[in-house]
């Protein structure tokens, strides 16, 4: 009986989590996307993709990722947490110096249904610390965990942020630390022009020495190089796109 109850709970947990995200949003993806201020991917025929990394900078993993990106002459967008920037500002400076884009991912990595005043504080605090070390103010913001609703999006827009999520079939789920070959196979199988690909450069602890992301990244970039893809920042991807709404949505820009 206990085993049956436990299995039932395990089955219901993902359903419950999904329902929370849906109920909190008063509009569907197409409605948000039509504004051009919430981005999942772009519609382009050019072989361009945007690699994105959340939650860093990490004192060990981020330098490894930067080395691999440099090897492939690839650019990326780092959605940084302000409380990590405070601790590792030199890594933020390195990201900027090497031509990567910095974006806002809140200060304390807060997930869920955040009040507007609290999110405003988180965005402002993160912008301030990024500007302190780089003299740049991020134009992009990614809600933690991809959780969004009207309050979150409208608050971001009031702060002149474009909300950037990711292509639904290009979530590496690397934070679960699956085998590196599983990550690379999944990304390579589904990649197409205009994708925004989700990775993380921080999970585990600051003492983590290796990650599946680092192990998979070189292989993924080898594949992209050999197949004529160029890895660019999210802002560059948007610049090269003449239409932000995917063809499948049936919505004209």
The answer to whether 54 is a known catalytic residue is yes
Work out the percent of the chain whose per-residue pLDDT is above 70: 85
Nearest to 130 by CA among 155, 98, 101: 101
Residue-wise pLDDT for 38-70, tens only, equals 899 998 999 999 999 999 999 999 999 999 999
Residue-wise pLDDT for 211-223, tens only, equals 999 999 999 999 9
Question: Is pLDDT above 90 for 32?
Answer: no
**What integer pLDDT is reported at residue 75 of this predicted model?**
98
**Strands 230-231 and 48-54, how do they pair?**
parallel
Q: What is the mean pLDDT of residues 133-143?
A: 97
More confident residue, 72 or 31: 72
**What integer pLDDT is reported at residue 137 of this predicted model?**
96
**What integer pLDDT is reported at residue 1 of this predicted model?**
45
**What integer pLDDT is reported at residue 34 of this predicted model?**
77
Q: How confident is the model at residue 209 (pLDDT cuts 50, 70, 90)?
A: confident
**What integer pLDDT is reported at residue 237 of this predicted model?**
95
User: Of 58, 100, 105, 200, which one is the catalytic site residue?
Assistant: 200
Residue-wise pLDDT for 15-28, tens only, equals 323 333 434 445 77
Question: Is pLDDT above 90 for 2?
Answer: no
Work out the percent of the chain whose per-residue pLDDT is above 90: 73
Mean pLDDT of the chain: 86
**What integer pLDDT is reported at residue 87 of this predicted model?**
97
**What integer pLDDT is reported at residue 24 of this predicted model?**
46
Domains of the chain: 37-244 (3.20.20.370)
User: Of 54, 55, 127, 218, which one is the catalytic site residue?
Assistant: 54
Residue-wise pLDDT for 157-173, tens only, equals 999 999 999 999 999 99
**What integer pLDDT is reported at residue 243 of this predicted model?**
52
């Amino acid at each position: 009986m206990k085993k049956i109850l436990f299995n039932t709970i395990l089955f219901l947990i993902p359903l419950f989590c999904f329902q929370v995200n849906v109920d909190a949003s008063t509009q569907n993806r197409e409605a948000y996307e039509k504004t051009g201020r919430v981005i999942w991917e772009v519609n382009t025929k050019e072989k361009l993709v945007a690699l994105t990394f959340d939650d860093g900078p990490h004192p060990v993993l981020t330098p490894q990722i930067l080395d691999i990106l440099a090897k492939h002459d690839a650019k990326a967008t780092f959605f940084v947490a302000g409380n990590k920037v405070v601790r590792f500002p030199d890594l933020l400076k390195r990201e900027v110096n090497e031509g990567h884009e910095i974006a806002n991912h809140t200060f304390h990595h807060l997930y869920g249904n955040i009040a507007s005043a609290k999110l405003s504080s988180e965005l402002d605090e993160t912008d301030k610390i990024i500007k302190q070390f780089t003299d740049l103010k991020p134009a992009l913001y990614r809600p933690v965990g991809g959780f969004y609703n009207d309050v979150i999006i409208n608050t971001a827009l009031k702060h002149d942020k474009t909300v950037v999520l990711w292509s639904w079939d290009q979530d590496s789920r690397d934070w679960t630390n699956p085998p590196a070959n599983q990550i690379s196979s999944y990304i390579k199988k589904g990649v197409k022009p205009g994708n925004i690909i989700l990775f993380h450069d921080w999970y585990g602890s600051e003492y983590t020495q290796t990650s599946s992301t680092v192990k998979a990244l070189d292989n993924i970039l080898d594949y992209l190089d050999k197949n004529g893809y160029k890895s660019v920042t999210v802002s560059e991807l948007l610049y090269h796109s003449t239409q932000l709404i995917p063809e499948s949505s049936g919505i004209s820009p």
